[in-house]
Structure 1
Amino acid sequence: MAAPAQERLDVVATTGMIADAAREVGGDLVEVRALMGPGVDPHAYRQTRSDIVALANADLVLWHGLYLEAQMEELLLELGESRPVVAVAEALPQNLLISHDDYEGRFDPHVWMNPNLWSRVVLEVRDAMIGIHPEAEDMFRTNAEAHLQELADLARYTADVLSTVPAEGRVLLSAHDAFNYFGTTYGFEVAGIQGISTESEAGLQRIAELVDLIVARDIRAVFVESSVSDRNIRALIEGAAARGHEVVIGGELFSDAMGEEGTYEGTYVGMIDHNATIIAAALGGEVPDRGMQGLLN
């Protein structure tokens, strides 16, 4: 049902990345709420009572899909039988997706790590909004085009800054496998202690394998994630030290959640700018002061 032109559409998004896209596309016509805030792990997130109320009352619900919100999937699918509920990443062509190692027939959900791929998700957000409020189609399309240009600029910056990392240093080791799209896009070898889902366990054998990798490849920096405990990363550092190899934390990356609301890093563009700049700097690349737009904290 189309909302009256004078009312703001009530949009509920599961993740901060989707909420950011909704705000960019919807502009002043939408009121957007993200269920999962900074530092929240979407793989393990379970809906609260207030979430259920918000979802049931929303004009539009936007969720990621690709098994990212594993604990909420049943609820969202059931809700979609009676209300506008759109899994915005499910429409991505399968030939652009990376197969999920842990679940047959599933795909790695972390598509936001490639800005060009995320641009396709923005188009799905746009089309979902047009579907419930066609009177504002021109505005939604105009806003989406402006945001897509921002994402194109971001993609160029990310490629440029990461290209300055020496070839032998292009190994990204973090808490879980959230960076496979990043690695494929920018030519980095990616290793995570846990699997694609943070629900998978990291055993002692996996830690030992990665310590061997760190020592053999002379890796000097590893990365923690804002939404995952740093316990396993510190175990890696200690394991490497026991082998006489010094490795440091190169910085904190945003993997499954953005930065604090109201900050540059609390936007999708700022999140990816932060990640690319931190990774390049820690691994021997050349980066501008405070990132692409000079806005990084």
Structure 2
Amino acid sequence: MLRIVLIFILMSHHITAFPSLTRRRALGLAIGAAVLASRPAFAQTAPLEVVATTGMIADAARVVGGDRVAVRALMGPGIDPHSYRQTRSDIAALARADLVLWHGLYLEAQMEEFLLKLAARSPVVPVGEAVPMAARIAHEDYEGRFDPHVWMVPELWASVVDRIAEALSAERPEDADFFAGNAARYKEALARLGNYATGALASVPEPARVLVTAHDAFGYFGRAYGYQVEGIQGLSTESEAGLARIRDLVDLLVSREIRAVFVESTVSDRNIRALIEGAAAEGHQVIIGGELFSDAMGTPGTYEGSYLGMIDHNVTTIANALGGTAPARGMDGNLSAGG
């Protein structure tokens, strides 16, 4: 207030000193100067506008970016990234963004051409490709292609978190230390989740460590935790499941006496139910052990709607359904009732 009063006094002096300056114009200058004086010396920098393709990437960007970023996810719960095509509103958001984060490794197969073109004029970063080549699982049918489902193992996801921090820092170098600190703390949480997963999944009797799901999204999971993983469909939900594949899996369920199979939140349960019916025809009862989050997280605003909650849910559900012992409400008791 004192600053504003002083400005008015000084401007009044100018009115007297320069008679040619009209009183109305001088008053206008004084008011304008007073308004400017009332503002903060430095305007706050607007948050970095980030668009992420999947919920998992968006969640990591929010954790690492904190209040320095505003993140929009294109794909929400129940959305299959393999078949997702960008909408008009998506195209507008992607074009306006300060930074676009996508997974890569051919996960967003229908969007890849557009994203690669956008990268020629805007910061567009495929964060899933931060996972070292030696840690990737090669596609059985396509040379140079890899299983994109690296988020199924927290230790692998830590590489993606680092890449997100690097991408944010490249656009806002002045916040690099802030992003690095957040990423370091988040990776500690990922390491703790990985330890929980190892212990809970090891509680399942070894002969029962067979994970049958709607599509082949759990390859990295199986390799990390010692499970045989069988997806009815291939790495992409676009692939078709043939009758021969169904028959082979029915034989597996019966011969290994597997009691539970799993549906996925982003894939139709039609083929899983066909497996159950096929096993029943052979005199073997199989139940649905639960719904797993494969290519998308849970409902926004819930624990399962975060990456940590997504993996906690999957691990806890699989361990308990296959005969292991895991806390019903997960690592820290944060899972929704019923797992």
- Alpha-carbon distance between aligned partners in 2 of 1:226 and 1:175, rounded to the nearest angstrom: 10
Residue 165 of structure 1 contacts residue 286 of structure 1 at CA under 8 Å; is this kept in 2? yes
1:65 maps to which residue?
104
Percent identity over paired residues: 67
Deviation by residue 1:164-197 (Cα, 9 ceiling, x = unmatched): 0000110000000000000000000000000000
Q: 1:54 aligns with which of 93, 118, 128?
A: 93
Calculate the aligned-residue CA RMSD, in Å. Answer: 0.8
The structure whose Rg is larger is 2
Distance (whole Å) between structure 1 residues aligned to residue 335 and residue 118 of structure 2? 38
Deviation of the 1:84 alpha carbon: 0.4
1:211 pairs with 2:250 = yes
**Between 183-192 and 285-294, the greater mean CA deviation after superposition:** 285-294
- Cα pair 2:292 2:314 within 8 Å, conserved: yes
Alpha-carbon separation, structure 1, partners of 2:130 and 2:325: 36
* Structure 2 residue 159 is the aligned partner of structure 1 residue 120: yes
In 1, Cα distance between equivalents of 2:238 and 2:94: 25
1:105 and 1:84 map into 2 onto residues whose CA distance is 24
Q: Are positions 1:155 and 2:194 aligned together?
A: yes
Which residue matches 1:255? 294
Task: Say yes or no: does 1:221 pair with 2:263.
Answer: no
Partner deviation per Cα, 1:142-179 (whole Å, 9 max, x = no partner): 11111011101100001011010000110000000000
The Cα of 1:94 is off from its aligned counterpart by 1.0
Distance 2:133 2:172 in 1: 29
Higher helix proportion (structure 1 or 2): 2
Shift of 1:100: 1.0
What SS is found at the alignment partner of 1:143? helix
> Structure 2: any 5+ residue segments left out of the alignment?
1-42
Residue in structure 2 matched with residue 199 of structure 1 by the alignment: 238
Residue number in structure 1 paired with 2:181: 142
Matching residue within 112, 118, 134 for 1:79: 118
Q: Could you state the TM-score of these two structures normalised by the residue count of structure 1?
A: 0.98
Q: Offset of 1:5 from its aligned partner?
A: 5.9
Task: Name structure 1 gaps, 5 residues minimum.
Answer: none
Query: Are the structure 2 counterparts of residues 73 and 135 from structure 1 closer, same or farther at C-alpha, using a change threshold of 3 Å?
Result: same
1:245 maps to what in 2?
284
Q: Is the 8 A contact 1:5 1:135 kept in 2?
A: no
Q: CA deviation at 1:139?
A: 0.5
TM-score by structure 2 length?
A: 0.86
Provide the rounded CA distance (Å) in 1 between the counterparts of 2:268 and 2:141.
21
Deviation of 1:92 after TM superposition, in Å, equals 2.1
Q: Write out the 4+ residue segments of structure 1 that deviate beyond 4 Å after TM superposition.
A: none
CA contact (8 A) 2:54 2:102 kept: yes
- Pick from 179, 185, 210: which aligns with 1:171? 210
- 118-127 or 87-96: which moved more? 87-96
- Give the aligned partner of residue 100 of structure 1: 139
- Amino acid aligned to 2:183: A
For residues 15-61 of structure 1, the C-alpha deviation after alignment (integer angstroms, 9 at most, x for no partner) is 00000010010000111010000000000000000000000000000
Structure 2 Cα separation of the partners of residues 199 and 67 of structure 1: 12
**Which AA in structure 2 matches 1:198?**
T
Instruction: Indicate if the aligned counterparts of 1:176 and 1:197 stay in contact, CA closer than 8 A.
Output: yes
Q: Return the match for 2:78 from 30, 39, 63.
A: 39
- Which digits, 9 at most, give the CA deviation of each residue in 1:77-128, with x for residues without a partner? 0000000000001232211000112322100000001100000000000000
Letter in 1 for 2:330: G
C-alpha distance in 2, partners of 1:86/1:22?
12
Q: Are 1:264 and 2:303 an aligned pair?
A: yes
**Whole-angstrom distance in 2 between the partners of 1:34 and 1:91:** 20
Q: What does residue 14 of structure 1 align with?
A: 53
| Alpha-carbon distance between aligned partners in 1 of 2:174 and 2:225, rounded to the nearest angstrom | 40
